[in-house]
């Protein structure tokens, strides 16, 4: 363990705190009120703006802009923060913005996330752990993305939308409502297409859980039952499965409402 290694051409404000073995590349810029944890790499021409706190073992690639001011007309320069956890890979030209006063003042990025090139995370978002955001994926303000979600390239998520655990968003999709855990959505005006079968298998869930999610999909979107009744029936059949109860609770608590199903599938589901 040793002192930070800072390229002579980099600009590091004296008010920044750099942990052991941090590496700062050529022409990178690190502003004041920044904390960067041990063994983090800031590549050439990347910038880490004020009021950013970053954990250990992160890698910020060239031209990324981390901790910029929010793109919000209500923001007037007040102090707000971006808090990033550990072991995140922040690829080229990614933009991560601080919070706003109305949104609680903090944007949070968790641990072990991959944010590919040109990703944008807006003010007051919460991006949890083990998430993949593909190239040009975009979160508007106040979004919440739960663990292990995957957002395909060129997709946009409306403000205040939540994506559940292990949710999957196909490429070039636009989401205006919540996507429950373990579900897959795609489309310009995205609709729920199926359970995230690949994600369920990768997680090595039991065949019982897999079958339960197929039933959850049918009951919730295609049974014709009022949704509260569909959820009650699902709970009666599979309420002993924690994954299904997580799904039920998510749908019940959704403030924006969940994405609709695909009308073209009614006759086949």
- What's phi and psi for 143, nearest 5 deg? -80, 155
33 given a catalytic annotation: no
Name the catalytic one among 67, 99, 141, 164: 141
The architecture of the domain spanning 5-142 is: 3 Solenoid (2.160)
Average pLDDT (246-256) is 98
pLDDT surpassing 90 at residue 218: yes
- Of 61, 97, 123, 142, which is the active-site residue? 123
Mean pLDDT of 116-134: 98
Which CATH number is 200-265's, of 1.20.1180.10, 1.10.287.1080, 1.10.1060.10, 1.25.40.420? 1.20.1180.10
What residues form DSSP beta bridges with 52? 82
Proportion of the chain above pLDDT 70, given as a percent: 100
What percentage of the chain has pLDDT greater than the value 90? 97
141 a catalytic residue: yes
Q: Give the pLDDT confidence of 220-249 residue by residue, as tens digits.
A: 999 999 999 999 999 999 999 999 999 999
- H-helix or E-strand spanning residue 250: helix 242-253
Q: Do domains 5-142 and 200-265 have the same CATH topology?
A: no
Confidence of residue 263 (pLDDT cuts 50, 70, 90): confident
**Catalytic: 7?**
no
Residue pair 139/113 in contact by the 8 Å Cβ criterion: no
Q: Which entry of 43, 124, 129, 262 is annotated as an active-site residue?
A: 124
The residue ranges of every structural domain in the chain are: 5-142, 200-265
Q: Which residues pair with 184 in a beta bridge?
A: 168, 194
| pLDDT score for 267 | 59
Q: Which DSSP category does 11 fall into?
A: E
């Amino acid at each position: 363990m040793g002192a930070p290694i800072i390229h002579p051409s980099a600009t590091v404000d004296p008010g920044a705190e750099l942990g052991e073995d941090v590496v700062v590349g050529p022409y990178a810029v690190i502003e004041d009120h920044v904390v960067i944890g041990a063994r983090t790499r800031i590549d050439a021409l990347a910038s880490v703006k004020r009021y950013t706190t970053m954990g250990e073992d992160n890698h910020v690639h060239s031209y990324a802009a981390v901790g910029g001011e929010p793109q919000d007309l209500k923001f007037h320069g007040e102090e707000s923060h971006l808090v990033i956890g550990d072991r995140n890979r922040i690829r080229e030209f990614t933009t991560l913005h601080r919070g706003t006063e109305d949104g609680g003042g903090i944007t949070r990025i968790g641990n072990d996330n991959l944010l590919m090139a040109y990703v944008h995370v807006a003010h007051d978002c919460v991006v949890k752990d083990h998430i993949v955001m593909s190239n040009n994926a975009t979160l508007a303000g106040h979004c919440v993305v739960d663990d292990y979600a995957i957002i395909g390239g060129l997709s946009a998520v409306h403000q205040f939308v939540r994506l559940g655990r292990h949710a999957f968003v196909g490429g070039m999709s636009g989401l205006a409502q919540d996507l429950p855990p373990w579900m897959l959505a795609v489309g310009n005006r995205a609709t729920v297409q199926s359970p995230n079968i690949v994600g369920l298998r990768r997680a090595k869930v039991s065949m019982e859980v897999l079958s339960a999610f197929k039933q959850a999909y049918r009951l919730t979107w295609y049974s014709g039952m009022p949704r509260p009744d569909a959820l009650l029936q699902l709970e009666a059949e599979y309420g002993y499965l924690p994954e299904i109860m997580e799904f039920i609770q998510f749908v019940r608590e959704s403030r924006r409402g969940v994405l609709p199903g695909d009308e073209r599938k009614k006759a086949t589901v």
